[in-house]
Amino acid sequence: MALFPRAAVCLVGVLLSGTAHAVTFKWANDGDMRAMDPYTFNETVQNTFLENIYEPLVRHNRKLETEPALATSWEQVSPTMWRFHLRQGVKWQDGSPFTAADVLFTFKRATGKNSQLITNVVSVKDIRKIDDFTVDIETKGPDPILPSEIYGMPIMSEAWCIKNNATENVIIGAGENFALRNAMGTGPYRLTGREPDRRSTLDRNMDWWDKPEGNVDHVEYNVIGNAATRVAALLSGEMDLIYTVPTQDIPRIENTPGLKLIQGPELRTIFVGMDQVRDELLYSSVKGKNPFKDIRVRQAFALAIDENAIAQRVMRGQARPTWLMYGPGVHGFDPALNVRPAVDIVKAKQLLADAGYPNGFEVTLDCSNDRYVNDEAICSAVGAMMARVGIKVDVYSRTKVKYFTDVNYPNYKTSFYMLGWTPSTYDAQNVFGNLLHSRGPGIGLNNVGGYSNATVDKLTDDISTELDPAKRQAEINQASKQVQDDFGYIPLHQQTIVWASKLNIDVTQPPDNTIPMRWVKVN
């Protein structure tokens, strides 16, 4: 049963009826947020929706540079201590004051059991209250990028969570609390309606501490899974903007009067991974052993996948092939390491034969069908390419809600999978801490395949504390090269962000593919 109060759903009409010239912005995507609790899942669509309600101490501007949010300033008072001065006069959307107590409470929640954002604060040892508007954050070692990392720690109200029995994080599908279906922050918009897998609404928070640069009073987010229906909703004028534009419809939209395309490079890297932990794969014809534990098998898979063909044919040129797990625009990216090995079917077959699979084997490729651009089509293309070396791939695609529940923490129910990752700190360390470090307390949480290398683990720890830029870059490069040599993952590409909107819609498209409503203007 939905916990969202009926009165709150009706609030939309009350607010708009009392506003003479309320501006409405209606947009659509192909998948919904999984929950309203920011600590249940780390995924772009959910994060970009909730950042309109919840705010961190430090936020990003249009250039993805850090700027003050709930903290007005900060300084490093020692190599392992940062002091943050909190913004005074900020009120929660229920009218109560924001104080340091909320920051301390949020840190406990962010580092608590089942937190999906724990890697953003893994370097933090403790947070201490100096006074109601000053906190000290002590790190386990020197942390050169802490302000960027705590962007991923949206602050929650301690009193609201206690009142509504939502102090603990829960796993979606395995638990329930008030924060899964309700939200109350300090941000520019309030949650006023929630119909999972259909529609969610926001209304302007008239008591927000900052001044919005946009003019939207009412936001309506619609879930339209079918690509043709989503495009039709834009063409008919029903939607102001659609997020995730099918590549086949780009020319049509581009040539339609009154509409425009908004395109730019994205920081997200799409990749495929393999279960390297289980002694026997969950979904494979191979019994009694795990072929992905053999580097020869992983290398064969990498050599069989023709990413250039995927970028040109499946993505229709709207992708940039990569061989690193992070792309241009992410601090630490070195183009010298971003060179894919050439496709080599003969060598791939020989590697499989040498590993004991001369006739290949069968394996399931898990895939979403409503999260990334052409995600299901990419998986189908990978399957066809693997057939050339004798691997029979069964593509199992489903909605992201079901897919992520299966493959992500804590289930990791997959043998072969495709995912995408955008480093929220815009630094390579985020990729290492989340995807490449061995799974452990507070780290490697999104390492779905369980890739593990002690050298990479040690370098990840070093990267997190190294203050010398040259040494840090050398450590990033060494760790990346080790992952490549291990064929721990198979990077595919960075997709191009493509949105489409009416001509009168003015939006900023940052390379992290978020849509902050405070910047949206309807002309």
Whether residue 129 is predicted with pLDDT greater than 70 in this model: the reply is yes
Strand partners, 284: 363
pLDDT for residue 477:
98
Start-end ranges of CATH 3.40.190.10 in the chain?
6-221+503-522
- How far apart are the C-alpha atoms of 317 and 206, rounded to whole Å? 43
pLDDT, average across residues 471-486: 98
> pLDDT band at residue 2, thresholds of 50, 70 and 90?
very low
Of 435 and 116, more confident: 435
What one-character DSSP code corresponds to residue 40? S
Q: What is the pLDDT of residues 216-229, one digit of tens each?
A: 999 999 999 999 99
Q: What's the CA gap between 355 and 92, in Å, rounded?
A: 59
Beta bridge partners of 242: 28, 500
From 436, 428, 426, 439, select the one nearest 463 (Cα to Cα): 428
User: Model confidence at 173, in pLDDT bands (50, 70, 90)?
Assistant: confident
- Check whether 10 has a pLDDT greater than 80: no
Residues 266-495: name the CATH superfamily. Answer: Dipeptide-binding Protein; Domain 3 (3.10.105.10)
Q: Are 48 and 33 in contact (CB under 8 A)?
A: no
Distances in Å between the Cα of 24 and the Cα atoms of 218, 238, 520, 522 are: 5, 12, 11, 8
pLDDT reported for residue 265: 86
Residues 354, 384 contacting (CB under 8 angstroms): no
Beta-carbon contacts of residue 173 (< 8 Å; ≥ 6 apart): 405
pLDDT of 7 strictly over 70: no
* pLDDT tens digits, 71-86: 999 999 999 999 999 9
Q: Does the pLDDT value for residue 104 go beyond 90?
A: yes
Report the top-level CATH class of 6-221+503-522: alpha beta
pLDDT in tens, 254-293: 999 999 999 988 999 999 999 999 999 999 999 999 999 9
pLDDT at 490: 98
Question: For residues 464 and 206, is the Cβ–Cβ distance under 8 A?
Answer: no
Tell whether omega for the bond before 154 is within 30 degrees of 0, i.e. cis. no
Tokens of 318: 């709207």
Q: In this model, does residue 4 exceed pLDDT 50?
A: no
In this prediction, residue 181 carries a pLDDT of: 94
Is the pLDDT score of 214 beyond 60?
yes
Q: How confident is the model at residue 121 (pLDDT cuts 50, 70, 90)?
A: confident
The share of the chain scoring above pLDDT 70, in percent, equals 96
Residue 433 has pLDDT above 90, yes or no: yes
> Given this model, what pLDDT does residue 117 score?
86
Average pLDDT over residues 303-319: 95
Domain with CATH 3.10.105.10 in the chain: 266-495
Residues 340-364 pLDDT 10s: 999 999 999 999 999 999 999 999 9
CB–CB of 172/114 below 8 Å? no
Of 403 and 64, the structure prediction assigns the larger pLDDT to: 403
| C-beta of residue 395 within 8 angstroms of C-beta of residue 376 | yes
Average pLDDT of span 366-381: 95
Which residues, including other chains, have CB under 8 Å from residue 458's CB and lie 6 or more apart?
A: none
* Residue 12 pLDDT: 38
SS3 label, residue 433: helix
Would you place residue 386 in the very low, low, confident or very high pLDDT band (cuts 50, 70, 90)? very high
Rounded-to-integer distance, Cα 368 and Cα 390, Å = 24
Identify the residue with better confidence: 307 or 43.
307
Residue-level pLDDT at 119: 82
> Which band of pLDDT confidence, cut at 50, 70 and 90, is reported for residue 172?
confident
Q: What is the pLDDT of residues 441-456, one digit of tens each?
A: 889 999 999 999 999 9
| 394: pLDDT strictly greater than 70 | yes
365-376 mean pLDDT: 94
40 and 33 Cβ atoms separated by less than 8 Å: no
Going from the C-alpha of 418 to that of each of 36, 81, 274, the distances in angstroms are: 25, 39, 9
Dist. CA 50–CA 189, nearest whole Å: 9
Helix (H, G, I), strand (E, B) or coil at 346: helix
Residues 13 and 305: their CA atoms lie apart, in Å, by: 52
CA dihedral of 191, 71, 163, 221, whole degrees rounded to 10: 10
Residue 319's alpha-carbon distances to 75, 238, 308, in angstroms, are 39, 29, 9
